[in-house]
Amino acid sequence: MKDIDIENAVARVLSGYTGPAETPAPAPTSKPGTTGCVWEPVKAVDPVDDIIGGMLTRALGERNCSNCKAGDCQGKAGCLSISDAEALELGDGVFATMDEAVNAAAEAQRKYLFCTMGDRKRFVEGIRAIFTDEAVLERISRLTVEQTGMGNLAHKIIKNRLAAEKTPGVEDLTTEAQSGDDGLTLVELSPFGVIGAITPTTNPTETVICNSIGMLAAGNAAVFSPHPRAKGVSLLAIKLINRKLAALGAPANLVVTVQAPSIDNTNAMMAHPQVRMLVATGGPGIVRTVMSTGKKAIGAGAGNPPVVVDETADIPKAAQDIVNGASFDNNMPCIAEKEVIVVDQVADFLISEMQRNGAWLASDPSVVERLAQLVLTEKGGPQTGCVGKSAAWLLGQIGIQVGPDVRLIILETTKDHPFVQEELMMPILPVVRVPDVDTAIDLAVDLEHGNRHTAMMHSTNVRKLTKMAKLIQTTIFVKNGPSYAGIGVGGEGYTTFTIAGPTGEGLTSPRSFARRRKCVMVEALNVR
Ligand code: NAD
């Protein structure tokens, strides 16, 4: 290569960092692009520019990210330099009205139809890359704890990483084919279009990450309606995704939301004609609401997961697993152990082993009464202000000081107590004693309230494990492990933060956000 060629290439590449390119981008191409989707102008890259660009980028310390207004983002993971205040501003997928947000997502989805599966894969990998960055993980997890006042930083980091790493991608979309004398038929998993996703305050960013990956992998655009209490961090997560997707050449606004999430905005989203599917991850109220819209709806609702322990279980391990699961993120996960049902013969042993593992036993009835007054509303449900608080905080409120080694409050009670019947989402775990394992299984089925959500059992009796799994019909059934093994922490398999018991999809993944469509070629392409 001549010196002049190198000089010209350096000038061309540098102009991309310092100012507008001298030559305009070529016209849109219809050739499937390797650098972007076919709907948009694909800038032809001279191979020389490519090599020199790479060298210059490294030499400049990847400082000048094309999206970064401030110019100091270090170019890390695209352009992720968004301050907490900037996260609340319009732009990067955040709109003033729901109508604008949905229309932008609809336009993006039409363009997205013409992206390749390779593009989709890159975009999904891009989302994973944002939220596996340690600094980003720490930031969104810390902001969630600060903004919602709930949960535990270290556990939120685990949950966000889990959503980024273990939510299935495009590989989940498998094609069926039938061929014969009449030709070839394909049944493919095709997008719905624009999906309206309502997210909970208990897993705000985890659900945005998980739903964005799943919905985009299936070819959809997503309009999020976050919980207002988690507004700032939800908007930040959505903006980070938009910045990254822009850097990867995706259509703008594949993942959007509104600046001021509210019930009115959620209602506007649900009623918008361009929204073809609704996905609600939250309590029973919002699940009922989406199911009554007349649109295709996925409802991922409340749970009240029981854990059964019988006399054949490894009790020290069961106690440790139960304390670990029930104290994870201060018991907020919908899958977390919410009540223990233990066979009388091993109940005392289990309780003492739980105490050895960080559980504080409330044995004085007056303490249990004071706790009930603190954490329950007049109707008997959980006080919002106590949801997701730590065991030490809850005990502190009733004048009992304990150290940080106390992770969980346990108490013995009867099956009718509100602590047993209600989904508290705080580290208070009631223990109910029963005479035998069959009674335990029947009671577990009763206390699960037909949510079809999650249950656990500690036993080495395979017949009883099978009996419980069959009768309880939960989406997740964990045997001899903590509840979080059911979403892939220390258990095999993929994760989801949208567990759809009420509408039957169960463990949602990209295929849950797709329609089965048929493509028929008549009298051809049968080569047998
Ligand atoms: P929530 O029902 O109060 O809120 C969930 C979402 O729905 C929020 O975005 C909220 O703003 C919205 N919303 C609630 N009522 C609404 C209404 N009338 N109109 C419009 N929007 C409305 O639940 P939460 O406290 O945020 O989350 C905890 C609940 O979610 C628990 O019951 C938990 O079990 C459940 N959850 C379920 C799953 C699952 O996968 N099944 C996952 C996480 C949480």
Question: Is the pLDDT at 27 greater than 90, yes or no?
Answer: no
Q: Is 498 in the pocket of ligand 1 (CB under 6 A)?
A: yes
In 3-state terms, what secondary structure has residue 201?
coil
Phi first, then psi: give them for residue 91, nearest 5 degrees: 110, 165
Is residue 56 within 8 Å of residue 10, measured between CB atoms?
yes
Question: Is residue 71 a part of any domain in this protein?
Answer: no
**332 and 472 in one domain?**
yes
* Co-location of 480 and 402 in the same domain: yes
Looking at the fold, whether 349 and 479 belong to one and the same domain comes out as: yes
User: Does ligand 1 come within 6 angstroms of the Cβ of 268?
Assistant: no
Q: Are residues 326 and 389 in the same domain?
A: yes
Asked if residue 10 belongs to a domain, the reply is yes
Helix/strand number for the chain, H first, E second = 18, 18
**Domain assignment present for 442:** yes
Among candidate residues 265, 300, 335, the one where a domain is terminated = 300
Q: What's the burial of 506, exposed, middle or buried (CB within 10 Å: 0-12/13-18/19+)?
A: middle
Please choose, from the candidates 262, 328, 272, 316, the residue with its C-alpha nearest in 3D space to the C-alpha of residue 295.
272
Q: Which amino acid is at 281?
A: T
Q: Residue 287: which pLDDT band, with cuts at 50, 70 and 90?
A: very high
Q: Looking at the structure, tell me whether residues 292 and 248 fall in a common domain.
A: yes
First to last CA, the chain: 52
281 in the same domain as 355 = no
Domain residues for the domain of 43 are: 3-59
454 lines ligand 1 (CB under 6 A): no
Residue 77 lies in a domain: no
Ligand 1 center from residue 281 Cα (angstroms):
6
Distance of alpha carbon 325 from the chain centroid:
18
Residue 394 lies in a domain: yes
In a domain, 185, yes or no: no
CATH of the domain at 153: 3.40.605.10
- Comparing 7 with 489, the larger pLDDT belongs to 489
Phi-psi region of 385 (alpha: psi -120 to 50; beta: other; left: phi over 0): alpha
Q: Output the domain CATH number for residue 315.
A: 3.40.309.10
Question: Residue 255's pLDDT is what?
Answer: 98
Phi and psi at residue 51, to the nearest 5°: -65, -50
267 and 197 inside one domain: yes
CA dist 242 and 89 (Å) reads 14
499 in contact with ligand 1, CB cutoff 6 A:
yes
pLDDT tens profile 511-526 = 999 999 999 999 988 8
Give the count of beta carbons closer than 10 Å to the beta carbon of residue 100: 14
Q: What's the pLDDT at 62?
A: 38
Give every strand in the sheet of 183-191, ordered side by side.
Answer: 176-180, 183-191, 514-522
Low-confidence winner among 23-27, 36-40, 304-308, 311-315 (lowest mean pLDDT): 23-27
Indicate if 353 and 472 belong to the same structural domain. yes
Give the pLDDT band (50/70/90) at residue 36: low
- Inter-CA distances, 204 with 105, 224, 225, 414, Å: 20, 11, 10, 34
Q: How far is the CA of 17 from the centre of ligand 1 (A)?
A: 44
pTM listed for this prediction: 0.88
Q: For 487-506, what is the mean pLDDT?
A: 97
Q: Where residue 80 falls among pLDDT bands split at 50, 70, 90?
A: confident
Q: CA-to-CA distance for 300 and 201, rounded, in angstroms?
A: 14
Could you give the strand order of the β-sheet that contains 275-281, starting from the edge strand earlier in sequence? 94-95, 255-258, 221-225, 194-198, 275-281, 296-300
Give the number of domains in the chain: 3
Say which residues have a Cβ less than 8 Å from residue 79's Cβ, sequence separation at least 6: 65, 66, 67, 68, 73, 243, 244, 247
Confidence band, pLDDT 50/70/90 cuts, at residue 33: very low
- My answer on whether 273 and 161 are in the same domain is yes
301 lines ligand 1 (CB under 6 A): yes
Rounded Cα distance, 111 and 115, in Å: 7
Verify that 264 and 323 share a domain, yes or no.
Answer: no
Q: Are residues 27 and 159 in the same domain?
A: no
CA of 286 to the centre of ligand 1 (A): 6
- Helices within 314-454 (DSSP H only): 315-327, 344-356, 365-375, 391-397, 418-421, 437-447
The pLDDT of residue 67 is: 47
257 has a pLDDT exceeding 50: yes
Cβ(302) – ligand 1 distance below 6 Å: yes
Is the pLDDT at 72 greater than 80? The verdict is no
Could you report the predicted ipTM of this complex, rounded to two decimals? 0.97
Residues 100 and 22 in one domain: no
Query: What integer pLDDT is reported at residue 351 of this predicted model?
Result: 98
pLDDT digits (tens, 9 = 90+) for 338-358: 999 999 999 999 999 999 999
For the stretch 55-67, pLDDT in tens is 544 444 333 344 4
Instruction: Pick the last residue of a domain from 254, 283, 300.
Output: 300
Q: Is residue 115 part of a domain?
A: yes
Any domain includes 504: no
Average pLDDT over residues 296-308: 98
Alpha-carbon distance of 116 to 142, in angstroms, equals: 36
Q: Whose CA is nearest to atom 20 of ligand 1?
A: 263
Boundary (domain end) residue, out of 300, 331, 356: 300
- Give me the phi and psi of 404, to 5 degrees please: -70, -10
160 token code pair:
């966000």
Q: Supply the pLDDT for residue 109.
A: 98
